[in-house]
Amino acid sequence: MNIECPGCKAPNTFNPTGITQAGERIICNSCKRPFLIKSRPSAEEQTRDKVLVANANPHFCSAIKDFLSGRGFEVILAKDGIEALQFLEINMPPHIVLVDVALSGMYGFEICDFIKNNERLKHIKVILLASIYDKTRYKRMPTSIYGADDYIEMHHIPDDLVPKINKLLGRDENIVRSPLKAHAMEFEAVVIYEERLSEKIKDIATQDIKVKMPEKGGKDSAHEEAKRLARIIMSDIILYNQEAVESGLRNGNLLELLKADIREGQAYYAKRVPADVRKGTAYLKNAFEELIAKMRKEIGV
């Protein structure tokens, strides 16, 4: 399929099946300037409640898209924090953002902080998604949800997500809207204004470049899953113990306050992650140190 460059009007060929909901950045064959290819929403979609779902698990993203689309919502997917922020910066804001607490690129509380401190975006309702690593571990509400409007645990989505969204949008919690009808996909070219991208995105993108190449031997997927589990474990500990975390950071006794939770997290990690992946790696320790460093910056200690 061809589309005109919004700058020089030269035709550019692209594969429509490869265009994600956040859009695809390409370089013009003629003038070499970058632009964004986006799907043009139908008139029906423009009247629908829009939900941005930020989660690294493609299987979950596919399932949640089907789940919410079948209940009348327009769903946009982002695989990490950078993609989520790029969508928020460039596109019309969604009504709801469902963001994974352990999101890669940025943690969920960082996305929430970005939204709530942005004049153009602060009206968006944010729901933190907790991918509880051990469903028997926590039987209490989080002590805080970092400025988000609500939170939900992944296993409660089928029953609780739509009522929570309706409540946040000021509607009857039990309303279920009709599914979107299929329509012919159309695309549009959008000029990319680099100045519209926040400095926060640029900083994170720079940090991302430092990531080492995956290991050879077919084990890279296992290592990525181990890193993901480590982020989930540590995010859970922080989410459900925020008051203790803030107190520990201010008073210098964080490890003492969290030692029981950390010990249980370590045991769970050891049980779930093969020994050959754990050997020579420190993904759990790294996730903890990264998250705590972000928390120190967040509360100013």
Host domain of residue 272: 212-299
The model carries a pTM of 0.67
Question: Are 124 and 185 in the same domain?
Answer: yes
Q: Which of 118-122, 171-175, 236-240, 254-258 has the lowest mean pLDDT?
A: 171-175
Separation between Cα atoms, residue 211 and residue 135, nearest integer Å: 31
Q: Strands, E, within 105-185: which ranges?
A: 125-130, 150-153
Question: Are 122 and 261 in the same domain?
Answer: no
Question: Are 201 and 57 in the same domain?
Answer: yes
The answer to whether 110 and 221 are in contact (CB under 8 A) is: no
Structure-model confidence comparison of residues 110 and 212, the more confident one: 110
Separation between Cα atoms, residue 109 and residue 56, nearest integer Å: 15
Last residue of a domain, one of 193, 211, 229: 211
Query: How confident is the model over 208-235, as pLDDT tens digits?
Result: 322 233 455 556 778 888 888 889 888 8
Question: Is residue 70 left, alpha or beta, with left meaning phi > 0 and alpha meaning psi from -120 to 50?
Answer: alpha
Last residue of a domain, one of 177, 211, 245: 211
Asked if pLDDT for residue 198 goes beyond 50, the answer is no
CATH classification of the domain holding 175: 3.40.50.2300
69, 219, 97: which is closest to 169 by C-alpha? 97
Q: Which of 103-117, 186-200, 225-239, 275-289 has the lowest mean pLDDT?
A: 186-200
Question: Are 164 and 224 in the same domain?
Answer: no
Question: Are 31 and 129 in the same domain?
Answer: yes
Number of domains making up the chain? 2
Query: How confident is the model over 42-75, as pLDDT tens digits?
Result: 555 555 789 999 988 888 888 888 888 877 888 9
Question: Are 149 and 272 in the same domain?
Answer: no
The helix/strand count (H/E) of the chain reads as: 11, 10
Q: Which two tokens stand for residue 203?
A: 């900083």
